[in-house]
Structure 1
Amino acid sequence: MQFPPKVHRCATLGLAVCAALALSGCLGYDGDFDRGYQVDEDTLSQVKVGATTKPEALALLGTPSTTSTVGGDAWYYIGQKMKHTLQFMPVQMADQHVLAVYFDKDGKVDRIANYGMQDGKVFDFVSRTTPTGGQEPDFLRNMMGGLFRFT
């Protein structure tokens, strides 16, 4: 079956527009991105050990990602560099760092540490999953055993 030239041109143009729209989502795609706190060396150099107070550190560094709850007073600024190799592939962590600011009992900066992946193992700081009961392999067996037990 032969189509008229006008229909053939419209179909070709429509196909080209659809292909351009489909590929436009890939344009300008940058697979690497930062997540969390990114250390600014100029700002960090303004935090002086033994002189900077908590309010001054808060004004310079901003709100910490988390704080210590046990064994001293410390603020932790957590940042990660993520890599997204392909548009529809899962994100992978390329680098991770934790800036730790420790305070003495007077509320002044005692020391500053910048931990990276080389200082320990990678772990998930913010996990959105909560373990629930019943996930054990014996759950079904326990349910069926209790079903037929009459006492």
Structure 2
Amino acid sequence: MKFVSGTVRKLVLVAGVVAMTACTQMDRFHGFVPPQDELDTIQIGVTTKDQIITDMGRPVADRALQNNTIYYAESHFRLFGPFAPRLVDRQVLAIDFDANDRVRNISRYTMEDGRVIVLDRRVTEDGIADVSFLSQVFGSFGRLDAGTFLDEN
């Protein structure tokens, strides 16, 4: 009886430790925003885009073709047990360049600003313009070759 009692105690202890560690708060950090001391070295109108990328690393998004701006982003998520991760903090650093690729402006946005910045638009075009499924199926009947199905050479 003593053996069963000791084993049960150990199992209860292990289950308690597992339950406590499963509900431990965990913080996750994603992305990178250069620290303020590095940003202080940037000179408006003097520092170039290439210098920024060399000194601070590749940005998370480069929209140079659209508005000549690069973005650095950093997010802090808090996970607690089985619940979905909760966004605690997000910072976005936008560095604008003029036509000569020299720094024009530096902007920092946080969650409190409430401004939505699309860093990467991930939309895949299907290449099908207003054609229904049945139209595609019926349209392919004329292009079938019997030799393909009969494996004739």
| TM class, shorter-length | 0.5 to 0.7
| Partner in structure 2 of residue 80 of structure 1 | 75
Residues 121 and 74 (structure 1 numbering): CA distance in 2 closer, same or farther, change over 3 Å? closer
Instruction: From 77, 84, 87, give the equivalent of 1:90.
Output: 84
Q: Find 1:11's aligned residue among 4, 8, 22.
A: 8
C-alpha deviations, 1:22-78, integer Å up to 9, x for none?
434445x43x43221234101111111111122211122210111115443211112
Cα deviation per residue 1:1-31 (whole Å; 9 max; x = unaligned)? xxx223322332333234334434445x43x
- Give the % identical residues: 22
Consecutive unaligned residues in structure 1, runs of 5 or more: 133-138, 144-151
Q: 1:12 to 1:37 in 2, by over 3 A?
A: same
SS of residue matched to 1:23: helix
Report the 3-state secondary structure (helix = DSSP H, G, I; strand = E; otherwise coil) of the residue aligned with 1:48. coil
TM-score (norm 1): 0.65
Higher helix share: 2
Partner in structure 1 of residue 115 of structure 2 = 120
Aligned residues: 131
Match of 2:143 in 1: none
The reply to whether residue 108 of structure 1 matches residue 105 of structure 2 is no
- TM-score with structure 2 length normalisation? 0.64
Q: Alpha carbon RMSD of aligned pairs, Å? A: 3.2
Greater CA drift, 18-27 or 72-81: 18-27
1:103 positional shift: 1.5
Q: Which runs of 5+ in 2 are unaligned?
A: 127-131, 135-153
Any runs of at least 4 consecutive aligned residues in structure 1 with deviations exceeding 6 A, and if so which?
A: 127-132
